[in-house]
Structure 1
């Protein structure tokens, strides 16, 4: 077999990234994503691009946060794995955002499995599958149940304590993984760090209480680099079983709509059946499905 040539792109060669077929419609998914040219790499064989990957992160960061575009030509799984293994950056996660219902379409399933196999050969293992949602104003605002009182909370220590309680018992795979490594404190700190990383105002974070003053949970209307989003929804363990997560989601949606949001992005683990049901009730359609892979120790920079 002809030797593989792996190269990192620059502004003059960035166009080479677009020379592969796009069966999973990544181009449409990432039409508003801004990538640095030098955080994109391709693998060539006989001058033909057989694998490509794009690493993403804020442009001011010295290194990318994750891989969220990964394509491999049929029969070139090892080329795709080599492309990831030899990258000069270590990233903890790889995401594949797939068309909704991809498993029911043999063509899409084959393409997804090919990329998952290549990621696995590079040392990435499956973490969780997620639903990706997108609310738009034509869906209508969800009804507010009116059971809770919402107020901002400027004290990070209060938020940290609530996040710690929420993540002490959770269905979220990322939080469970963090808790396994460092307890609910680590899960809470990672969540807090993420929320601070978002470019939206800290003043948007809110705590929900009953009219009697009992704390129920938190919701964080937010903006990520791509636009408005549900930053976080969480109910403390002692208040679960009453459907309060829907109340939080409805309030979050109303809050962002009042900020003239033209859409609101959101996501939840597919195994989090209660939250998925709340998104459906609140008028959030599934627009994509995400496969999250985590990096094992064998993944290293080259």
Structure 2
């Protein structure tokens, strides 16, 4: 078995596009792969093959990054040809080779339909991917709901319960710190095990500044008397407008204010002509999922995220 990037032959990118999408786990279409290659979000050096001694491709891995990323951010597609006796072993070797070349362990996102566990064929296809990811060091697992809003869902009118305004960088940093307390977001919980709240907040600020959305979109949410209630950070991906980050400070939680903040983000994007707004939340974050449901967002897929374990 030989593992390599798709850089040895000018025809390699075409071979990667043409690789058959075996199995029940949804795969990217050829058109989508070409679009990502053209946008520099997939690259030949981030596209890896497992080949047999005759040069037949037995597995393909497609890592994704932003157009200006130095290293890939996530593994978006992993497939092993049907009939391979031990797909987990082949996939694990492919991931290990890619990780060694990248000098890190990008997360692995598996996009799945709702109810995937009830389908034996899909569950088995996920199982060997999990086994391979675990073998390659991606042993921490999070399951997320991917939501989507379209204009058919409509928007809500402001109720006056909150006032939204711009704020300074220091005010937003403070809001991130306050919102992290008691957060149900698993990534935030993991980060707080190895960093203090201000360090986590600074990383969050840098992350959202690096997203395609604009800093000028960010809003602090206040009660009419000026008390900070939360924060709304409309954002974007390379493809769609995105909810980004939102939350309510601990002392104001349980009053339904999350609906007001989500409504503000949705109205903002809708007013800008957005035809689609995407969002994600952990399946364990029941209050946030319920807010998306109330706002007319619909679950379009389950995203299984496999990543390095949190630092102690």
| Alignment TM-score, normalising by the size of structure 2 | 0.88
* Alignment partner of 1:80 out of 82, 91, 96: 91
Q: Which residue of 1 aligns with 2:12?
A: 13
Unaligned runs of 5+ in 1: 298-302
CA-atom RMSD, angstroms?
2.0
Please state if 1:104 is matched with 2:128: no
The verdict on how the C-alpha distance between 1:145 and 1:103 changes in structure 2, with shifts beyond 3 A counting, is: farther
The answer to whether the aligner puts 1:25 opposite 2:26 as a matched pair is yes
For the 8 Å contact 1:125–1:295, the answer to whether it is kept is yes
| Displacement after TM superposition at 1:195 (Å) | 0.6
Q: Distance in 1 between matches of 2:256 and 2:19?
A: 48
Tell me the secondary structure at the aligned position of residue 245 of structure 2.
strand
In 2, the alpha carbon distance for the partners of 1:275 and 1:144 equals 19
Looking at structure 1, the residues matched to 107 and 143 of structure 2 have their Cα atoms a distance apart, in angstroms, of 13
Q: Tell me, yes or no, if structure 1 residue 146 matches structure 2 residue 160.
A: yes
Q: Which residue does 1:125 correspond to in 2? A: 139
Alpha-carbon distance in structure 2 between the residues aligned to 1:271 and 1:69 = 25
1:58-105 residue CA offsets vs partner (Å, 9 max, x unmatched): 222221122222223452211111111112111342211212221122
Change (3 A) 1:29 1:68: farther
- In the other structure, the counterpart of 1:300 is none
Could you tell me how far apart the structure 2 residues matched to 1:191 and 1:53 are? Answer: 29
Structure 2 residue matching 1:86: 3-state secondary structure? helix
Distance in structure 2 (CA, Å) of the matches to 1:144 and 1:104: 41
The structure 1 segments of at least 4 consecutive aligned residues displaced by more than 4 Å after TM superposition are none
Shift of 1:113: 1.4
Separation in 2, partners of 1:111, 1:144: 46
Indicate how the Cα distance of structure 1 residues 9 and 92 shifts in structure 2: closer, same or farther if over 3 A, else same: closer
Compared with structure 1, are the counterparts of its residues 296 and 239 closer, same or farther at alpha carbon in structure 2 (3 Å cutoff)?
closer
- TM-score, normalised to structure 1, is 0.91
Tell me, in whole angstroms, the C-alpha distance in 2 between the residues paired with 1:204 and 1:249.
Answer: 14
Structure 2, unpaired ranges of 5+:
none
For the residues of structure 2 that align with 1:109 and 1:149, how far apart are their CA atoms?
46
Select which of 16, 31, 44 maps to 1:37: 44
Contact 1:270 1:276 in 2 (8 A): yes
Match of 1:94 in 2: 108
Q: 2:79 aligns with which of 71, 75, 97?
A: 71
Contact 1:179–1:185 (CA under 8 A) maintained in structure 2: no
Distance in 2 (alpha carbons) for counterparts of 1:9 and 1:249:
42
Q: Is the 8 A contact 2:26 2:111 kept in 1?
A: no
Number of residue-to-residue matches in the alignment: 293
Q: What does residue 215 of structure 1 align with?
A: 228
Secondary structure of the 2:273 match is coil
1:246-285 equivalent positions in 2, closer than 5 A:
246-285=259-298
Residue pair 1:228, 1:263 contacting (<8 A) in 2 also: yes
